[in-house]
Chain A
Amino acid sequence: MSTRNTVERREVRSVRRGVPVRRARLVRTTAFKLTIVYLLVFGVLAMALIAYISNTTKDLIDRQLETAIVGESAELVAEFRRTNLFKLISTIERRSMRPDANVYLITDFSGNPIAGNVAKLIYDPGVARGDTTFPVRYTRLVPSNRGTETPTHRALARLSVLGGGYRLLVGRDVEDRIEFSAIISRSIRGAMVVVAILALLSWAFISRVVLRKVDAIGGSTRQIVAGDLTRRLPTDGSGDEFDRLATGVNTMLDEIERLHAGLQEVSQNIAHDLKTPLTRVRNRLDETVRTQPGQGERERVLAAAIEECDQLIRTFDALLTIARVESHSTAVTLERTDLSALCADMAEFYEPAAEDCGMRLVADVAPGLAIPGEPTLLRTMIANLLDNALKYGTSDESLVELTLRRDGDAAIVTVRDHGPGVAEGDRARLMDRFVRMDAARSKPGAGLGLSMVKAIVGHHGGTVSLEDACPGLAVRIVLPLAT
């Protein structure tokens, strides 16, 4: 099949380029784009949230630390002023015994350590001012094992001047806080990885599902374009977007198939049923040329030929109107039409013609019924029905009834004669184009009346049915009322 070849060729071409077709198609899918968007949005939001929480927590902890340090510094300075250095030192030593002890250091005016629980203290002198807390690094002496130091920790410390050249340093360990920050960072990184993996998985899954469905649609449409109008897109009844799309496209295909069939029918009709009268005209004119009749005969033949041509033109027009109306291809908009007035008008118009045929036309029209419609088409419809009734509905009781009444939100138009009627089997065929009942072949007209009626009724969104009126034929048209 040609389609398979083109697909293969495309794949081969792109493999030669080095980019497999599947990957390029995956990247172009909406699923991929959506996934990227979700990934970015979620990622940014998550990071922002985590950053906010961690910063706020850090600030909180920092403030607490600072308050604690400042408070303790002030407390110890006050004690020194109240008592003396030795008291202070013993207080510090006592506090250093606590498991969660702060960092304490007392130095003399030259910076030599006098008391405290640090073994080594490292800090940048530039930042060590009296009124701020500044970061330091320190080690402690292990109490149980003199001579060894703990690993270097970080702390925040504050310097206070005791007087007499002595200075006090109070600090608090911040390793916990740093550990906390590290945990946050690790969490963020971990979360990002998990999100990325999940996104990739869902993207791959969605893409595969989506691509499979798109491929199914693509395959079906290729076959339809190739000419198989009976094919329809597969639906799985899940009601999702693809199902709805497929259902919509299938409805469209139904309509296309119907129009296509209608078009073929029109072509066949034109070919067969219009060639007959054309041939008739041609033959008659040809005969005139051959037999060279007298002036009077010649005039008669020419006049008859013109009349035949006129009838042909009318038939063509009718066919075109039917085709146009059936295909909804016209821009004719339906306007609010007073159907009651229209029916009453038409009855009045046809009443003399009925009388002329020796029949009675009786109208029973309910007033005030309006429908969305096209007046000319509606008049054509009623004219065709009345014409038919007057032509075929003759009998002893020559009565033709045109009724219009309301039934809920619909208008019902009925044209009924009391004639011989139509057999049940024939009633369905009667609305096809060019069908005439055998008895009617002798009467004028091309047999388009009822198919025109059917087309016009369909155009107005209604239904038409032929019923046995016992006696006679009743044509019943249901049209939706204007809202």
Chain B
Amino acid sequence: MKVLIVEDDADAAAYLSRGLNEAGHASDIAGDGECGLEMALGSEYDVLIVDRMLPKRDGLSLIETLRAKDRHVPILVLSALAQVDDRVKGLRAGGDDYLTKPYAFTELLARVEALSRRKQTAEFEAVYRVGDLELDRLSHTVSRGGQAILLQPREFRLLEYLMRHAGQVVTRTMLLENVWDYHFDPQTNVIDVHISRLRGKIDKAFAKPLVHTVRGAGYVIRTDEG
């Protein structure tokens, strides 16, 4: 995956670049808004990471210009501004996701990978499959190894999100935002309990567990071989 980092803080940009490289991705760095716009228009990137506060042209303006030029590359907005209004502004400008500083690198990596996956699968998939687990999005049914599994609506959405990002790490914050549409920070591990309930239904009675905990990051659904 090729990522463009538009960040004027050289240290932060280098940190991001190193982390992405270690995760097996290629990255370029632009130090200001104008340079970033030029590079984004000039090459094909899978994901853009754009800081809001940039010299020469601020982040939101860069995003708006790209969108106006019909460039639909997924963009993750980085910002120290954490209020609800700021997030709304960032998304309305054309950003696809919004992450506030300071952030955990695992969080950023998970979101960047999720964004690139979103770009790839544009068509609507009716059925998600991981191993012998099947989720039918139209009929809202779940089965594993042919056996039907009864899920509550919220559990269904949780599993759906995990399976949409099968093989990718999904952080607790991502789950909170996308499955529950919550933007507050629960101090305790409420998400973990929901996951363990889900596991109880789809993993417990079966030989191979599909939902795995990634320490310090979040969760992932995958077959052990994959």
Q: A-side interface residues toward B, CB under 8 Å?
A: 303, 310, 313-314, 317, 324, 330-332, 345, 348-350, 352-353, 355-356, 374, 376-377, 379-380, 383-384, 387, 390-391, 444-445, 449
Known: A317-B185, A324-B83, A349-B180. 17 other contacts (CB 8 A): A303-B216, A332-B83, A332-B85, A348-B154, A349-B182, A349-B194, A352-B193, A352-B196, A353-B188, A376-B183, A379-B182, A383-B186, A384-B187, A387-B186, A390-B188, A444-B187, A449-B187
Which of B102, B185, B188 counts the most chain A CB atoms within 10 A? B188
Q: Is B84 part of the binding interface, using a Cβ–Cβ cutoff of 8 Å?
A: yes
Chain B residues in 8 Å Cβ range of A444: 187
13 sample A-B contacts, Cβ–Cβ < 8 Å, listed by A number:
A313-B102, A317-B82, A330-B83, A349-B190, A352-B196, A353-B188, A355-B193, A356-B193, A379-B183, A380-B184, A384-B187, A387-B188, A391-B188
Output the nearest chain B residue to A355 by Cβ-Cβ distance: B193
The complex places the Cα of A425 from the Cα of B189 at a distance, in Å, of 32
Interface string of B44-72 (1 = CB under 8 A from A): 00000000000000000000000000000
Chain B residues in 8 Å Cβ range of A317: 82, 185
Output the nearest chain A residue to B153 by Cβ-Cβ distance: A348
CB distance from A443 to the nearest CB of B (A): 10
Output the nearest chain B residue to A316 by Cβ-Cβ distance: B102
Chain B residues in 8 Å Cβ range of A303: 216
The complex places the Cα of A111 from the Cα of B182 at a distance, in Å, of 119
Q: B-side interface residues toward A, CB under 8 Å?
A: 82-85, 102, 104, 154, 180, 182-190, 193-194, 196-197, 216
CB distance from B56 to the nearest CB of A (A): 27
Chain B residues in 8 Å Cβ range of A349: 180, 182, 190, 194
Query: Which of B182, B183, B187, B190 is A352 in contact with, Cβ under 8 Å?
Result: B190
The complex places the Cα of A382 from the Cα of B149 at a distance, in Å, of 32
Output the nearest chain A residue to B155 by Cβ-Cβ distance: A352
Known: A314-B185, A380-B185. A352 touches B194 (CB 8 A): yes
Q: In the bound complex, do residue A376 and residue B194 qualify as a contact, i.e. CB atoms below 8 Å apart?
A: no
Chain B residues in 8 Å Cβ range of A332: 83-85
Output the nearest chain A residue to B84 by Cβ-Cβ distance: A376
Query: Which of B154, B184, B185, B193 is A353 in contact with, Cβ under 8 Å?
Result: B193
Chain A residues in 8 Å Cβ range of B180: 345, 349
Q: In the bound complex, do residue B84 and residue A374 qualify as a contact, i.e. CB atoms below 8 Å apart?
A: yes
Chain A residues in 8 Å Cβ range of B83: 324, 330, 332
Output the nearest chain A residue to B103 by Cβ-Cβ distance: A313
Q: In the bound complex, do residue A379 and residue B188 qualify as a contact, i.e. CB atoms below 8 Å apart?
A: no
The complex places the Cα of A352 from the Cα of B186 at a distance, in Å, of 14
Known: A376-B183, A379-B182, A380-B184. A353 touches B84 (CB 8 A): no
CB distance from A394 to the nearest CB of B (A): 14
The complex places the Cα of A378 from the Cα of B210 at a distance, in Å, of 35
Chain A residues in 8 Å Cβ range of B196: 352, 356
Output the nearest chain A residue to B198 by Cβ-Cβ distance: A352
A-B residue pairs, 3 tightest by C-beta = A352-B193, A380-B184, A353-B190
Q: In the bound complex, do residue A350 and residue B185 qualify as a contact, i.e. CB atoms below 8 Å apart?
A: no
Q: In the bound complex, do residue A445 and residue B187 qualify as a contact, i.e. CB atoms below 8 Å apart?
A: yes
Chain A residues in 8 Å Cβ range of B187: 314, 383-384, 387, 444-445, 449
